[in-house]
Structure 1
Amino acid sequence: MTATTTVQQKRLVQDTKGSAYELREELSRGGQGIVYRTQYPQVLIKGFTNRNEQARLRWQRHIDWLTRQDLSGLKLARPLALLAAPRFGYVMELMDGLVPLQGLLDGFVSAEEDAPADYLRQGGLRRRIRILSQLARTLNQLHARGMLYGDLSPSNIFVSDDPAHAETWLIDCDNISLEAHSGLTLHTADYGAPEVVRGDALLSSLTDSWSFAVLAYQLLTHNHPFKGELVCDGEPEEEEAALRGEHPWVNDTQDDANQCFANLPLQLLEHSKLPALFSRCFEQGLHSPSERPSMAEWLEALVQIDERTYCCVGCGSTSLLPVDIDSEASCFFCDELADNRLVLFEEFIALPAESEARSDAPTEMIATGRKVWLQPGGEVELKRLLPTFSYDRWPADHIRIEYGDKGLGIYPLPQCKLYIQRGAATKPLERYQGLKEGLRGQHEEAYQIHVGELEQSHVIWQFRW
């Protein structure tokens, strides 16, 4: 009797291919449905909750269309199969060990004295930057294919449950479309673009960019960009007005009426492009959506931050190094001086002499302004950054470098023609090259790694050891 009762309590559904799934705990809930775990660790079920028959059929046709689209290579838990009647929903696959991003925001302690420790406990700045980088890359790739995501919010972004990792996926792909949805202004409270909240515009790639900016600001500072003192201390109508775009954001350069003094300040990122991008999005882009930064711009800025982030040997938090550190850099959280063992890799473009008559002329080196830092115990892949329109495509010509106990190790990767130079001596770099820790500081000349043929324009990475 007990066994029979247990079986009867199981909620089972089937897909159109005949596979059966047990609906277990609820994972997330949104405006259109509920996501459940199943007996399979990497299989989820999305159930559509709208009872309107026309809405159900329209939704089902859209999901059927979505299953036939090329979404390969994207970190999206895309629909694999529809549920069999009378159910409305679909099956999707998601790697194990991921949880909603909302949990990262909900778990934050707002007390000022606890903020640094809590920020570190949840992975620090580096993890947040890498989560946002993966999210920006996915949205950039989606937009490059002529599609938009739609209802972007912390409940449909899934990240690693281990703070040491930053794997990031999008689920709930119901709103993905080739164009603005006809008549659809669905959005999650706090994350909808002002024109969508007001009902003046449909979802588009520009509304995706707004939602991403809100998420990015909130994840990095644990403040909503429009919930400052004016909103938090005011009546509920003030918050509604702010989300409609009627109040300034918390760091508005022209109007400080809605400032915010809680949690982490934007100065945490002052040595990056992010403050300017936030300003463009939340000021110029508040009423002119076309002024908002593209996802490619967000991606480029985030990658540059990741390359200049280091771990403090004092408190263990991660901080951003300034582009120019002639003065001594220190940890944002504890003021401990930056690790003096950091190695700086600077990128240059080499322009060889244009004619044979000048073949003995020195190669001209033009600094790109890109600087990548490597800390003991870490590794980095030095990759050429392509123009933003194709920023999601990584080239083959790059190098992996690690900094271990014995020193620096340089690993050339496949399809990569490399040369290493110090002073006048240049030789091909065809296999692993090690630089011993004990040799550090013994040479005045900088090392240069040439990526490509020496007689042609190519990238040079310069560093001192």
Structure 2
Amino acid sequence: MIMAIRVRSRAGREWLLTEEVGSGSEGVVYAVHRAPGLVAKVVPRPRDPAAYRRRLDRLLRQAREPRTSRLLPAGQPPRLAWPLEIVTTARGTAVGCLMPDLRVTHQPLECLLSPAARGEHLPAATWATGLRAAASLAELLADLHAEEYVVGDLKPENLWVNAAGAVALADVDSLQFVDGGETFPCRMRSAGYTAPECVDSETLPDRASDSFVLAVLAHQLLMDGLHPFHGHPADGSPYVSFDDNLLRGRCRLVDRASVVLPRFAPPLDLLPAGLSRLFRRAFDAAGRRDPSVRPSPAEWARALRRELAPGRLVACGRDPGHWHSVDRPWCPWCDQRARLAREVPAPRRRTKAEPAGNAEPAAHAGPEANEPRAAAARGTHRRGAVASHESRRGGCRDA
């Protein structure tokens, strides 16, 4: 049985919230009865209730200002789940807001990052879709930065994508911004999606830290979900987390010998040369140490759009679902499929007469095979997780 929650706006209008569709570290997201285009985020116990109300007040007011209205073009798929109305529960103990339901037009970004979910929920998606999504995300971030917003907690769980590769951002109430001389900070941190200067630090995010995480997400979108700091340390030390690899400079794209990757990792030369250079600027020692040298979202957007220009994408002649850059003379996906077939032969079927002890042993997967499992246990490998607005329930929405 679903327990309904009644909320009220300051003007006295009431809405009935029905099933929970997501939850996160701060709030719970509910469907709104008889309002299919809306959801409501309710924060039961804000850390600072007065500050949270002021934050929502400012965001609602800014929606009518030129700097924000440019981010919310009418008549187009939403780019931001911007708060529409402040609501409180009957006792006034919980506060929240109504916002657009991105499930109507989009799928969670994780459906594009996970091969299994992509096949089920975005079956027409190809490498070109990931390229368009990376460009769309870079453009969205560039536009937010131009209007002096910092995302701060940029991660797959807060991002949505449609079949055309257009990206939208949820959890807008956690944006960092300044209004009337007051700073509304973003203090959230997500493992694997935090710039090095903000890991284990109280340092507030800024445009450069957003730019670093943009590079991480672009890498995942172009490399079949592979995190750029994925891999077991090649020196034999134990794997701890993506963030540990980041702080120690373990990244295949920067130093091939620094990590051992699983067999399913796409080849490095899948990336166009121009994009590889941008990734190295973001992830090498200088980019990790000096935020000012990282490519900006605007630079990423220009580079990614160049790769989408006519003549830059090539369709595989053998598999219509395979697309790749013209920089690659043959299909990397067919190459990878053939390589995996050679390296992992099908198990030999044992006959009834053959004793179990003679069964062919499983192929040794090597230490890298356990890394996704170990990372998931630490909350840093999220490719299979799916959430709604904060933390989506029930997997990717059916297309």
TM-score by length of 2: 0.69
Counterpart in the other structure of 2:70: 73
Deviates more, 1:293-302 or 1:310-319: 310-319
Contact 1:28–1:100 at 8 Å: present in 2 too?
no
- Residue 311 in structure 1 maps to residue 315 in structure 2: yes
Matches within 5 A, 1:8-47: 9-39=3-33, 40-47=35-42
The sequence identity of aligned pairs, in percent, is: 29
Backbone CA RMSD of aligned residues: 3.1
Counterpart in the other structure of 1:207: 209
Secondary structure in 2 aligned to 1:334? Answer: helix
Counterpart in the other structure of 2:167: 168
Cα displacement (A) at 1:15: 2.6
Change over 3 Å in CA distance of 1:239–1:148 after alignment to 2 = closer
Contact 1:136–1:299 at 8 Å: present in 2 too?
yes
Matches within 5 A, 1:62-211: 62-69=55-62, 70=65, 71-74=68-71, 75-84=79-88, 85-95=92-102, 96-106=104-114, 108=116, 121=123, 123-160=125-162, 164-178=163-177, 184-199=186-201, 201-211=203-213
Please give the alpha-carbon distance, in whole angstroms, between the structure 2 residues aligned to 1:181 and 1:93: 25
Please give the alpha-carbon distance, in whole angstroms, between the structure 1 residues aligned to 2:120 and 2:273: 23
Counterpart in the other structure of 1:378: none
Cα displacement (A) at 1:294: 0.1
Please give the alpha-carbon distance, in whole angstroms, between the structure 1 residues aligned to 2:93 and 2:59: 20
Please give the alpha-carbon distance, in whole angstroms, between the structure 2 residues aligned to 1:182 and 1:236: 36
Please give the alpha-carbon distance, in whole angstroms, between the structure 1 residues aligned to 2:55 and 2:39: 19
Secondary structure in 2 aligned to 1:41? Answer: coil
Counterpart in the other structure of 2:304: 302
Contact 2:26–2:46 at 8 Å: present in 1 too?
no
Please give the alpha-carbon distance, in whole angstroms, between the structure 2 residues aligned to 1:267 and 1:16: 54
Cα displacement (A) at 1:305: 1.5
Please give the alpha-carbon distance, in whole angstroms, between the structure 1 residues aligned to 2:177 and 2:314: 40
The one-letter amino acid paired with 2:38 is V
- Residue 57 in structure 1 maps to residue 43 in structure 2: no
Please give the alpha-carbon distance, in whole angstroms, between the structure 2 residues aligned to 1:168 and 1:145: 18
Please give the alpha-carbon distance, in whole angstroms, between the structure 2 residues aligned to 1:37 and 1:231: 47
Contact 1:16–1:82 at 8 Å: present in 2 too?
yes
TM-superposition CA deviations, 1:400-439 (whole Å, max 9, x none): xxxxxxxxxxxxxxxxxxxxxxxxxxxxxxxxxxxxxxxx
Secondary structure in 1 aligned to 2:280? Answer: helix
Cα displacement (A) at 1:313: 4.5
Cα displacement (A) at 1:101: 1.3
TM-superposition CA deviations, 1:55-90 (whole Å, max 9, x none): 222122112111111322321111111113332111
Please give the alpha-carbon distance, in whole angstroms, between the structure 2 residues aligned to 1:295 and 1:270: 18
Please give the alpha-carbon distance, in whole angstroms, between the structure 2 residues aligned to 1:183 and 1:83: 22
TM-superposition CA deviations, 1:189-217 (whole Å, max 9, x none): 21011111120621111111111111111
Change over 3 Å in CA distance of 1:270–1:93 after alignment to 2 = closer
Contact 1:319–1:331 at 8 Å: present in 2 too?
yes
Deviates more, 1:99-108 or 1:209-218: 99-108
Please give the alpha-carbon distance, in whole angstroms, between the structure 1 residues aligned to 2:287 and 2:278: 10
Structure 2 spans left out of the alignment, 5+ residues: 72-78, 336-399
Secondary structure in 1 aligned to 2:30? Answer: strand
Counterpart in the other structure of 1:260: 261
TM-superposition CA deviations, 1:349-370 (whole Å, max 9, x none): xxxxxxxxxxxxxxxxxxxxxx
Please give the alpha-carbon distance, in whole angstroms, between the structure 1 residues aligned to 2:259 and 2:307: 28
Counterpart in the other structure of 1:279: 280
Compare the two structures and name the one with the higher helix fraction.
Answer: 2
Change over 3 Å in CA distance of 1:139–1:232 after alignment to 2 = farther
Contact 2:174–2:186 at 8 Å: present in 1 too?
no
Compare the two structures and name the one with the higher strand fraction.
Answer: 1
Please give the alpha-carbon distance, in whole angstroms, between the structure 1 residues aligned to 2:115 and 2:49: 35
Look at both structures and tell me which one has the larger radius of gyration over its CA atoms.
Answer: 1
The one-letter amino acid paired with 2:31 is R
Counterpart in the other structure of 1:290: 292
Contact 1:228–1:260 at 8 Å: present in 2 too?
yes
- Residue 225 in structure 1 maps to residue 228 in structure 2: yes
Please give the alpha-carbon distance, in whole angstroms, between the structure 2 residues aligned to 1:119 and 1:251: 30
Contact 2:153–2:186 at 8 Å: present in 1 too?
no
Please give the alpha-carbon distance, in whole angstroms, between the structure 1 residues aligned to 2:234 and 2:197: 19
Counterpart in the other structure of 1:376: none
Cα displacement (A) at 1:258: 1.9
Please give the alpha-carbon distance, in whole angstroms, between the structure 1 residues aligned to 2:226 and 2:240: 19
Matches within 5 A, 1:296-445: 296-307=298-309, 308-322=312-326, 329-334=329-334
